[in-house]
Structure formats: C-alpha cells, structure tokens
Amino acid sequence: MDQNNSDHAEKLTVANRATLDAFARSLSTHATLTRAAYLRDTQRLAQAVHPAALPSLTRAQLARCLAQWHAQGLSGRSLARVLSSWRAFYRFLLSSSEYALQDDPCEHLKAPRAAKRLPSVLTPDETGQLLNENAESDMLLPARDAAMFELAYSSGLRVSELVGLNLAQLNLREAEARVLGKGNKERLVPIGERAIDALQHWLAARQGWLQDADEPAIFINARGKRLSVRTVQQRLKNHAIRKGLAQHVHPHMLRHSFATHLLQSSGDLRAVQELLGHASIASTQVYTHLDYQALAKVYDATHPRARKKDTGKTSKGGASRKDKPSSQE
C-alpha cells in the first residue's frame, strides 16, 4: 500500500489490508491523483466498518457510512467522489474470482444531492477591463492571446473547443464558426466584430510561428503546434492579474460571462442554450439565477421601498430581502 495511505493502517484487519493492496496494484495504470483518492476512500471505509471484511459489506452498511459522514459535515460533492471510489473498488472485487462476490453493493446507491454552486462571472466592466488589449500589436504573443480571449467571450466557447478550432471551421466573412462540442456535436456560433478584428490580425501574424503550412490549428505556439488547454488557462490567469482583476479568471469564466451577459440583454434562454451547445435547458437555467442576483442587487441599491431608513427600520410597505416570502405568495 502507498506510504501516504498507511497512516491509519493499524485499524485494518490482515484480510482487508491484503484486499486493499491488491486493489492498489490493479490501479497501476490510473492517474496518480485518481489512484490516491480511490485508495484513501476505500481505506477510510475499511476503518469505518472495522473489523468487518470489505467483500462482505452490504448496500445498507455502505448507505449507513454515507449517511454518517454526511451528518458529520461531508458535502454531497465529496460523498459523490467517495461513492465513485467505492464503485471502482467493488468492480475490482467482482472481476476477481478470488473474492467470490456475486452482487455489487454500490448498485442503486446514491450520494446526497450536492448543492449547486452558481458559476463565477465577470461584470461587463470587468470583461471590458480584461479584453481591452491592443489587438494590433506587432508582437505575436499578445496578438494571439487577444484573439483567443475575444473569441472565447464573443462566442461562449469551451476551452477545449477553442484550442480544437481549425482554420476550415472559421468563416470570418459570415462572422461565424462551426464548433465541435461535447459528444462531437457540431454547432454554428456567431463571432462579434471585435473578435473578428483580433482574429484577422492574428491570422496575418500567425505565419511568423508557422512551421508546417498544413497545420490546421488556428491557435498555435511559438513552435508552430496547436495550443494545449493548460497553456490557455495559464495565459488567461496571468493576463487577468496583469489587468488588475482581483479574482482568479479561467477560460470557463468567459463562457459563463458570455451566457450571463447575453441572457441579461436578450432574455432568450433557448437561444443561449443553442449558442452554448447545452443538450438540456436545465444546464442553461443556472444563468437565470445569476441574472436574478444581478437584478436583485440593482433593486436593493435603487428602489426606495427596498432600502431601510436611517433609523434601521424597514420603510413602510417594504420588506428586507432577508425576509422569506409567505407560503401563499
């Protein structure tokens, strides 16, 4: 067993320790972090049910562990990760004749629903501050970055879609791009004027880095190769810091900001869904909550009935936003 998973090994039976060691060996091809999480979560399970044998656990026992950890403050998101580790563990046991396991105790087991977190977005002013870059720069790096960031925000692209975009998918004359999204689903997205200007300047300058005339990628590095997702993330993070933005800015925040700003100005949820490439309208509806939050802040700051008087009392006819509406409303 890994050294970092041996701190509490004294609370493991010999049989459970051997089972976990075998599981660890089966994970040799997994990513390091995934492997560590799987081993940590299954070892914690073994400690929680000690001295019971892991292969003999029932669905009820696993559900009881989840409930206890949830009561102790473990979030729904964390419990979902734990359950994913357990599923991997019991799949391993089922695949091995050594343990004679017939049924998967994780089957039909669900973690408590995780509270949905609203995505972080930039205000229009912050977006302007971030993107106010000289796209006409003679330097290739600023020209490329300006085109990337403008296009990501202008068209609401995922970072994987951005780096995967090829020249053949771009039609600047029609101000549109064909994007290959999740599940290899293609969608047509519009491109704004500022993004078009930045792209035209970058495509003219791109020749300076081009090593292979047949390279299809729009966004390349100094070696003439397609950019990686990690590079875009790092470039945007550093760019936001240089621009004086206090919060951590990542590529998906540009996509969230695109959707929120578009919904605020148009109110057309279905159109936003299509532009984002969401298979379900439910995925897009999160932006209605962000839109409401923005409107609520304006209301609180400007509406005479929303603000408290200097005496600290709520003005007549108004109620504090902290007050809950009655069940009849």
Does 252 participate in catalysis according to the annotation? yes
Does 182 participate in catalysis according to the annotation? yes
The catalytic residue among 235, 237, 252, 307 is 252
The catalytic residue among 8, 25, 77, 182 is 182
H helices within the chain, ranges in order? 14-26, 32-49, 59-71, 76-95, 124-131, 140-155, 159-164, 193-205, 229-242, 251-266, 269-276, 281-284, 286-302
Alpha carbon dihedral 132, 138, 141, 142, in 10-degree steps, equals -10
> 321-327: long-range contacts at Cβ-Cβ below 8 A with a sequence spacing of 24 or more?
321/296
Does 255 participate in catalysis according to the annotation? yes
In angstroms, the CA 130 to CA 248 distance is 12
The answer to whether the CB of 177 falls within 8 A of the CB of 170 is yes
Structure tokens at 78: 């964390």
The catalytic residue among 158, 201, 206, 256 is 158
Per-position b or e across 13-45, b if 16+ CB within 10 A of its CB: eeebbebbeebbebbeeeeeeebbbbbebbbbb
The answer to whether the CB of 90 falls within 8 A of the CB of 101 is yes
Does 278 participate in catalysis according to the annotation? yes
Residue 222, Cβ density class (10 Å: 0-12 exposed, 13-18 middle, ≥19 buried): exposed
The catalytic residue among 59, 278, 299, 307 is 278
Which residues lie across from 314 on neighbouring strands?
308
The catalytic residue among 35, 255, 256, 261 is 255
In angstroms, the CA 233 to CA 224 distance is 19
Please state the three-class secondary structure of 87-111 as a single string.
Answer: HHHHHHHHHCCCCCCCCCCCCCCCC
Cα distances from 316 to residues 12, 168, 299, 322, 327, in angstroms, run: 65, 63, 16, 16, 22
Which amino acids are annotated catalytic? 158, 182, 252, 255, 278, 287
